[in-house]
Amino acid sequence: MICQYLETWTEQQVFDHVVKHLRKQNAQCSVYARDEGPTECKYRFNGMKCAAGSLIPDFEYTEDLENKPWNNLVKSKIVPKAHQVLIRELQVIHDREETSDWEEHFQMIAKVFSVKYTKKAKTN
Of 95 and 38, more confident: 95
Q: Is residue 58 part of a domain?
A: yes
Q: Residues 39-80: pLDDT tens digits?
A: 677 899 989 999 999 999 999 999 999 989 999 999 999 999
Q: How far apart are CA 46 and CA 35, in angstroms?
A: 20
Total number of domains in the chain: 1
Q: Is residue 118 part of a domain?
A: no
CB 66 within 8 A of CB 56: no
Provide the pLDDT confidence category of residue 30 given band limits of 50, 70 and 90: confident
Q: Is residue 123 part of a domain?
A: no
Q: Is residue 65 part of a domain?
A: yes
Q: Is residue 15 part of a domain?
A: yes
* Threshold 0.75, pTM exceeds: yes
Domain of 34 in residue numbering reads as 4-112
Q: Is residue 120 part of a domain?
A: no
Q: Is residue 88 part of a domain?
A: yes
- Per-residue exposure over 88-116, b if at least 16 CB sit within 10 Å of its own CB, e if not: ebbbebbbeeeeeebbebbeebbeebebe
Closest CA to 99 of 9, 25, 49, 48: 25
Q: Would you state the pLDDT for residue 124? A: 60
Q: Is residue 121 part of a domain?
A: no
Q: How far apart are CA 124 and CA 121, in angstroms?
A: 10
